[in-house]
């Protein structure tokens, strides 16, 4: 069994009885002490069963010494490139590294100013290395929390021009397995798809929420699952399905082609995640224990 470790700002201070682990200016979290990392561990469901008829097609358990460059790309993107987000994405290990059998993505506040280009984070993808058409795409994750924080586990069509293909978004298709808008509710994740319909017009399912009965997604690990077949796409959290949508319409051909996986933490995003402020603790962390793809036996 993996030992799963987590630490995040003022919650850990309360658990450990530490008077303060932030500075007086912007509540930046203290360094990751071994004591703090042990405060929250081994939470949530540890096991996953894809059900009869499915076999493991691919997985990354993050058990190696570092991120597998044969599988993952570290995207480098300027601040503001998408959705008016404030972070820039780097290829630095300080923003994404493998530790204690987990992939850890960190969003870091690089100054005392809350503004564009004052944060760094990571956006990892498997473009041109691993992609799949249909299957159960599953990951065990502990999400970050806080105002203006926007973590995501999602997929893009393998033909997108952003990564060397010939098809622009949304014609390539996008599947949002989970997005969480910290400015809205740290106990809610949302599912969505984006595509172009039969007229070539942008279309989407519309974000559908799943809310925890109590607490926040930062309190524990959860298993997030996408069940993608030739007929439909369904979303599950800890085995509970909360939405399914048909993809048989002729205008939804994007979802009958290979897609690759992405993980990232965005900071800000006007209209979606809002903006961080003095109440937002940094660094923010997203812990991915494992990610797996199961496909039907043939």
* Residues annotated as catalytic (active site), given as ranges: 174, 179
Compute the distance between CA of residue 177 and CA of residue 191 in angstroms, rounded to an integer. Answer: 6
Compute the distance between CA of residue 231 and CA of residue 30 in angstroms, rounded to an integer. Answer: 48
Q: Which two tokens stand for residue 207?
A: 């974000």
Q: Residue 173: name the closest of 248, 89, 259, 250 by CA.
A: 259
Compute the distance between CA of residue 116 and CA of residue 190 in angstroms, rounded to an integer. Answer: 25
CA distances from 177 to 89, 139, 208 (A): 21, 10, 11
249 contacts 114 by C-beta, under 8 angstroms = no
DSSP bridge partners of 190: 179, 209
C-beta atoms surrounding 91 within 10 Å: 13
DSSP bridge partners of 105: 96, 286
């Amino acid at each position: 069994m993996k030992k799963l470790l987590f630490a995040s700002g003022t919650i850990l201070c309360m658990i450990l009885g530490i008077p303060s682990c932030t500075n007086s200016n912007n509540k930046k979290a203290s360094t990751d002490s071994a004591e703090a990392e042990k405060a929250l561990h081994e939470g949530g469901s540890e096991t996953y069963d894809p059900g009869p008829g499915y076999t493991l097609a691919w997985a990354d358990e993050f058990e190696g010494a570092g991120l597998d460059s044969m599988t993952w790309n570290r995207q480098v993107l300027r601040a503001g490139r998408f959705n008016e987000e404030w972070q820039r994405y780097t290829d630095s290990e300080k923003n994404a590294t493998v530790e204690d059998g987990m992939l850890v993505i960190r969003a870091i506040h690089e100054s005392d100013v809350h503004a564009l280009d004052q944060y760094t984070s990571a956006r990892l993808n498997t473009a041109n290395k691993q992609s799949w058409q249909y299957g159960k795409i599953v990951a065990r994750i502990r999400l970050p929390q806080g105002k203006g924080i926007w973590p995501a586990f999602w997929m893009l069509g393998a033909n997108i021009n952003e990564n060397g293909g010939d098809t622009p978004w949304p014609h390539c298709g996008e599947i949002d397995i989970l997005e969480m808008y910290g400015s809205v509710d740290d106990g809610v994740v949302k599912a969505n798809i984006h595509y172009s319909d039969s007229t070539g017009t942008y279309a989407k399912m519309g974000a559908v929420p799943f809310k925890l009965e109590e607490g926040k997604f930062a309190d524990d690990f959860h298993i997030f699952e996408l069940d993608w077949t030739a007929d439909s796409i369904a979303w599950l959290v800890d085995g509970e399905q909360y939405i399914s949508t048909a993809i048989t319409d002729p205008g939804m051909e994007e979802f009958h082609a290979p897609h690759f996986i992405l993980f990232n933490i965005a900071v800000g995003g006007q209209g979606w995640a809002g903006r961080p402020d003095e109440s937002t603790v940094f660094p923010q962390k997203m812990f991915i224990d494992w990610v797996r793809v199961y496909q039907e036996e043939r």
